[in-house]
């Protein structure tokens, strides 16, 4: 058991070192700097998103990026039976996990103001927490795609407010 614990520790250390190397290489990418302007996204999260998503400019719409990540919705119906819509989870599970934890962090009241938390708070009473988090993941994808395609840093004042 001790040997397994040591192996896990060694793997975690190697992973952390790899992320640091990736961050060093990623500093020259404009996406790296743009992603870090979004509250809740630091250097490690930015480089992990870049490594999982690749060149985000290749996606024309957020629906394409949602599908790549696995946030696109599907509906199962057969005859008179019709089930609720749910995400397919067919996409990149690592990117989906990064987006999930980023949104959870952004919802923290101690985090600086952001449009993700504003939209979440506005709809908090009307829907379940899971549905709202997935909706905010979609909103974050939309924001990331827009910022990178327009090469603009994040601005809370310019971010689309929930209506």
Sequence-separated (6 or more) residues with CB below 8 Å from residue 42: 36
Give the pLDDT of residue 163. 47
Q: How confident is the model at residue 132 (pLDDT cuts 50, 70, 90)?
A: very high
Contacts of 51 (CB under 8 A, 6+ apart): 22
**pLDDT above 90: residue 59:** yes
pLDDT for the residue numbered 158: 78
Confidence of residue 72 (pLDDT cuts 50, 70, 90): confident
Please compute the mean of the pLDDT values over residues 26-37 and round it to a whole number: 93
- Stretch (H or E) spanning 74: strand 73-74
The yes-or-no verdict on residue 157 having pLDDT over 60 is yes
Report residue 77's pLDDT band, with 50, 70 and 90 as the boundaries.
Answer: low
Residues 74 and 61: their CA atoms lie apart, in Å, by 18
What is the residue-wise DSSP string for 135-150? HHHHHHHHHHHHHHHH
On the question of pLDDT at 82 being above 90, the answer is no
- Arithmetic mean of pLDDT over the chain: 89
Percent of the chain at pLDDT exceeding 70: 92
Q: Give residue 103's pLDDT.
A: 96
Count CA atoms within 13 Å of residue 4 on its CB side: 1
pLDDT band at residue 160 under the 50/70/90 scheme: low
**What pLDDT sits at residue 30?**
92
């Amino acid at each position: 058991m001790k040997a397994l614990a040591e192996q896990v520790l060694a793997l975690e250390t190697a992973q952390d070192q790899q992320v640091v190397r990736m961050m060093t290489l990623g500093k020259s990418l404009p996406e790296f700097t743009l992603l870090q302007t979004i509250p809740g996204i630091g250097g490690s999260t930015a480089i992990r998103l870049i490594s999982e998503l690749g060149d985000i400019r290749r996606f024309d719409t957020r629906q394409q990026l949602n599908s790549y990540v696995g946030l696109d919705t599907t509906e199962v119906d057969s005859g008179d039976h019709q089930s609720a819509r749910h995400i397919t989870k067919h996409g990149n599970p690592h990117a989906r996990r990064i987006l999930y934890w980023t949104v959870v962090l952004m919802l923290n009241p101690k985090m600086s103001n952001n449009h993700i938390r504003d939209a979440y708070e506005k709809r908090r009473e009307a829907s379940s927490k899971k549905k709202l988090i997935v909706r905010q993941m979609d909103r974050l994808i939309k924001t990331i795609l827009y910022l990178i395609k327009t090469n603009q840093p994040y601005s809370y004042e310019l971010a689309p407010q929930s209506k």
